[in-house]
Chains A and B, each alone.
Chain A
Amino acid sequence: MKIAVSATGGSMSALVSEQFGRCAYFLIVDSESMRFEPVSNPATGMSGGAGPEAVRVIAAKGAEVVLTGRVGPNAENALRAAGIRLAGGASGSQTVRQAVEEYLKAAGR
């Protein structure tokens, strides 16, 4: 399963970004191998519509779940349309690796 995590940097030890649409990076993490691909978020500087654009980017990378803090209403609708599960409420004091491990543990994997 591919998990997208909103992050402040491009590595697994970067902190989670609580912002979804305007985070600096998405990390696309493969939950089986824990291999990851950092994707620089093109929506960061957009004046409007950042949420849907960010969803388009992670959908194109095959993400099935997104770990983040909060999403806006447009992003929420876009996630629904793209069939990506939202796992919100992630804390910005966690690293991406911690957030993914915690999510997998809670999901019983």
Chain B
Amino acid sequence: MIVSVASGKGGTGKTSVACALAQSAGRGVCLLDCDVDEPNAAILLHPTIRESVPAAILLPVVDDAKCDGCGACAKVCEYHALTVLGDRPVLFEHLCHSCGGCALACPKGAIREEPKAIGKVHVGDAGGVAFVSGELDVGEVMCPPVIRQVKARAPRGMDLIIDCPPGTACPMVASVEGSDYCVLVTEPTPFGLHDLTLAVDVVRKLGMPFGVVLNLADIGDDEVDAFCAREGIPILARIPFDRALAEAYSRGKTFVEAKPEFRTLFAGILYGIRCQGAA
């Protein structure tokens, strides 16, 4: 079973919820930190990292001796990562999606693809929870390839809890894609509701079942509740605004470490998801 934890708005408690779910799941669970721009599940789970491997993408390299500047590579590039300036193609590597189309299109065979490391994937263990996390290097922009390499490192046969990046763009889609269920964490504020509605649109397009965890549930307004009731979206849990949780968080402790009774709540969420027919 693969459960992704996403949100739309940042700072609603995705990582807190994902870590609590992983710690409440019992045996054979792995947490994947796919928020590769700002991975922070390790701050709460304190994993021991066994192995760190580079995450690389393929970039085209033009052989100037073979290239005649015909521009076939630039023409085929959907992302305009190659532009012929003067009489040679110039690569704008941050625009490149590593599709390899340019190398196929070049009639002179002047383009080959070479790997470039843009981040790292860390693999380890956090007290019975297997742990894989991605980290995009400073100055790099392509999150999805690093996210896919994190997912490729997930141990076989385990349940996966995926801590997703905020937002609703490519990195969020790359993280949520392929899940059996998506948990959307939000807060009862106009901003939380606004970005929740965007995230709901994305998850519906991806065609997977989903529900909402309402964090800081006893403050703010009632608009998220009203929205969920109107749209028929289940509210899986309400986490109160509680100073004890905030203090624990500030010391790098998870929800269930702060309040062991939460284990029942989060295990219940996972049980409910499993009963809904997920693998």
Say yes or no: is B241 at the interface (Cβ < 8 Å to chain A). Answer: no
Contact present for B95 and A55 (CB under 8 Å): no
Interface residues of B in 67-91 (CB under 8 A from A): 79-81, 83-86, 90
Q: Report Cα–Cα, A46/B94, bound state, in Å.
A: 16
- Which residues of chain A have C-beta atoms less than 8 A from B191's C-beta? none
- Which residues of chain A have C-beta atoms less than 8 A from B90's C-beta? 52, 77-78, 81
Given A46-B80, A49-B80: A78 and B85 interface contact (C-beta under 8 Å): yes
Contact present for A78 and B83 (CB under 8 Å): yes
A33 to chain B, nearest CB (A): 26
**Number of A positions contacting B (CB below 8 A):** 15
Say yes or no: is B271 at the interface (Cβ < 8 Å to chain A). Answer: no
Q: Report Cα–Cα, A48/B77, bound state, in Å.
A: 11
Instruction: Give the residue of A52, A59, A82, A83 whose beta carbon is less than 8 angstroms from that of B92.
Output: A52
- Which residues of chain B have C-beta atoms less than 8 A from A83's C-beta? 86
Q: Report Cα–Cα, A78/B90, bound state, in Å.
A: 8
- Which residues of chain A have C-beta atoms less than 8 A from B81's C-beta? 49
Contact present for A52 and B86 (CB under 8 Å): no
Q: Report Cα–Cα, A53/B86, bound state, in Å.
A: 13
Say yes or no: is A70 at the interface (Cβ < 8 Å to chain B). Answer: no
Chain B residues engaging chain A, CB cutoff 8 angstroms:
79-81, 83-86, 90, 92, 94-95
